[in-house]
Amino acid sequence: MTRSKVAFILVSFIAILCLLLIPGQYVRTFGQPEVLVLDSGWRISLNGTVLPEDNPQRIVRTDVRVIKKGDVLTMSHTLPTGAGYYYPSLYIRTQGAAIDVLIDGMLYYSHDKEAILNNTQVESGSHFIDLPMSISGSELTINLYSGSSYAFLGVEPPVLSSYRSLMEYELHLNFLPLMVSIFLCVYGVSFLVISLYFVLQTPNLLGQVVSSLICIDVGIWMLSTYDLLSIIMGGHHATRLESITLYLLIPLLYLYLSSMRKPFRKQIYTAIAVISSAVCVMLAVGVAINMLPIHIVNIPFALIALLATILVLRIRFGARAGAKREESESLRIAGLLVLITTFWLYHLSYTFVEYTGLTRDVFTDNLVTFGGMFFVLCQMLNYFVYIAQIYTRKQENETLRKIAYEDALTQLPNKVRIDEVLQALDASDRNFCIVSMDLNGLKQVNDQIGHMWGDHLLMEFAQVLRISFGEVGFLSRVGGDEFIVAIEEAGEGEVRECIANMLEKLELLDRREKNINHSVAYGYAFRNEVPERNSSAAMKVADARMYEMKALQKKQAQREAMMRLTTEA
């Protein structure tokens, strides 16, 4: 894959993303849900200490570096009077924190506080809280209880509106991840079904199966990370599912690599792959049955992921990268690499956000979206490249087939081909006859009047063979002047008839071209004749008979020559 092609893909992909985003934005301007984003006017205190910020999003790590589990962040806001919301709902997103919502000091909503008490994993996610009718001028208080060290960092401002509008607001924000994650899931499932259907018929399909699994995995990861799962499926399992799918990505990645041709040269790489896959599966299981708290697992997992990334980079840019690699394989690696890179960037940007308090923007939010789409794009591109290449490849194979199986001069099948045919005949239980033939005059013609005439003789003889045996036998040229005909299910009479026919034709040629010796030595043998009942034994007998005849012919030729000499003398 040349650089220009990569550039083309990138440019077109970005172009299409824009094409998708711009109409999306345009369409959205018609139907922006009416919401009130509460991004100022907050009074915020941490464990009773008042913080200077009036927007929870601005809380950065430096201020609260000492956040421990169980710390409490209290945010209060006086709701505007006269806001025309009729029974509004409140939308707030939490990250690893339990939440209480109070209106005028009355508790209206509480989530996951028992997780803090029980010291289990605190779920992150979206909360939609139904508020009472009269809220104008009320005091809204939100208490966040930290379940992790990043719980209070960059808290997105709460939003007030009707429930449906809030849900649409959230979906509009995550419009691309939603589309892409659903696409990945459906695409993965479809391809999995198709490849499993074909996997029995065709080898080398492991790559397809694994890549569809990767698609599903990334799709589910995205759904849980952007907290879209609760809207589509209901329930609050996002945090755990996010980690599980992330851990499972590593074994899938190694499986994917192993489906390529010789991905690892050294045993040690294979060992690394197996061990890290096993560890990741164990991590996933541990998190799934709620044995492992996620924040403990994060660092070892990051190391494993780093190792995997380095391996992929080695495969792409390592010593062997310069060697000829098939286009499809380099495409697949490129797709994988982009996917991994976006995953890293996403998590790095997350850490970055924690320290700076800047909100994630459209770009970082859609990074993995981009990676996932690129992965699928590379997969699909493979198929399209195949569609484009298959015709040329077929022609190439046709040429190769000719070179491999055909004698270039006479265009008769060659030794390789007749060997295959004889093998097939041996495997059957039918009788067959092998006729071995040797042109007596070829060497003489070649030496005396030139190779041109030798070639001419060969072509003529091939033509004669085609006429006299073509209907019943399989013809071949196995050496310079050697020919073999295999005749299936033939009686001796039939074979003799064919040979007589051939001799007759050669006689005619002899008379027409006096300077060329058209004589041929032949011998034939049947499968039934030989005790071994196979073609090589029959061939030996046929050859022996042919040599016998050749010897006789030579003697006769010598006698004739002598006769001629004596008569001339």
Partner 1 sequence: MTGLLSGLATTGSLRYEIVNIDEGWRVTHNDKVLENVTLKEAIEGVAGKGEVYELENHLPFVTVPAAALRIHTTRSCIDVYLDDELIYSFGHDYAERGDSVPNGYHYPILPTGYTGAALRIVLTGQTGSAFSGMEPIYMGNRQDLVQEQIRNVRFPFFVGIFLCLFSIIVLILGAYVFFFHERSGRGGDQFRMLFSAAICLVLGTYILTRADGYFFVTSSLAVSSTLEYVSLYLLGILVAALFMTVVDGKVRTICGIAAMVNAGVFSVTLLLHATNLLHMNKTLWLYHIVIITEVILMTVFLVRQFIENRGKGNVIVIDTVAKDAEKKAGNIIALGMLCLIFLLFLDIIRYIVMKYFSARGTSEKGLLLTTVGALVFVFSLLLNYFYYNIEMIHEDNKNRALETLAYTDALTGCASRTRCEQVLKEMERYKGNYSIISLDLNRLKLVNDTLGHAEGDRLLRGFGAMLKACFRDSDLTGRMGGDEFLVIVKDAPDDLCRYKMYQLQRLMNVRNQEETKFQYSVAYGYADSWETKNKKPMEVYNLADERMYEMKQKQHEKDPHGVRLKKKAGSGEEQDPVSAQATALENASAAYSTGAVPDRAKKEDEE
Instruction: Give, in degrees to the nearest 5, the angle at Cα 34 between 29 and 40.
Output: 110
DSSP designation for 37: E
Query: How many Cβ atoms from other residues are within 10 Å of residue 410's Cβ?
Result: 21
Closest CB to partner 1 among residues 424, 562: 562
Determine contact, residues 230/127, Cβ cutoff 8 Å: no
Question: Rounded to whole angstroms, how far apart are CA atoms 411 and 459?
Answer: 9
- Give min distance, CB of 257 to partner 1, in A: 19
Q: Please, where are the H alpha helices in 53-97? A: none
* Minimum CB distance to partner 1 smaller for 305 or for 445: 445
Nearer CB in complex with partner 1: 13/269: 13
User: Exposed, middle or buried: residue 126 (CB in 10 Å: 0-12, 13-18, 19+)?
Assistant: buried
Tell me the C-alpha distance between 462 and 352, whole Å: 80
* 443 vs 496, beta carbon nearer partner 1: 443
What's the token pair of residue 488?
């299936």
CA pair distance 225, 412, nearest whole angstrom: 66
Residue among 562, 188, 102 nearest 379 (CA): 188
CB of 491 to partner 1, least distance (A): 26
Nearer CB in complex with partner 1: 162/519: 162
Question: Considering beta carbons, is residue 119 or 395 the nearer one to partner 1?
Answer: 395
Decide whether 241 or 280 has the Cβ nearer to partner 1.
241
Beta pairing class for 36-37 and 159-161: antiparallel
Residue appearing with tokens 């590593």 = 250
Which residues have a Cβ under 8 Å from the Cβ of 398 and sit 6 or more positions away? Answer: none
Residue 88 vs residues 31, 101, 174, 255: alpha-carbon distances, Å: 19, 14, 22, 49
Q: How far is the CB of 301 from partner 1 (least distance, A)?
A: 29
Smaller CB separation from partner 1, 482 or 494 = 482
Q: How far is the CB of 408 from partner 1 (least distance, A)?
A: 8
Distance CA 277, CA 249 (A): 9
- DSSP string spanning 444-513? HHHHHH-HHHHHHHHHHHHHHHHHHHTTTEEEEE-SSSEEEEEEET--HHHHHHHHHHHHHHHHHHHHH-
Taking a C-beta distance cutoff of 8 angstroms, is the pair 174, 228 a contact?
A: yes
Q: Report CA 450 to chain centroid distance, whole Å.
A: 57
Rounded least distance, CB 248 to partner 1, Å: 19
Report, in Å, the least distance between residue 564 CB and partner 1: 10
> Minimal distance in Å, beta carbon 513 to partner 1?
19
Of the two residues 172 and 347, which places its CB atom closer to partner 1 in the complex? 172
Question: How far is it, in rounded angstroms, from Cα 430 to Cα 550?
Answer: 30
By C-beta, is 37 or 291 nearer to partner 1?
Answer: 37
Non-local (6+) Cβ contacts of 539 within 8 A are 422, 434, 436, 484, 525
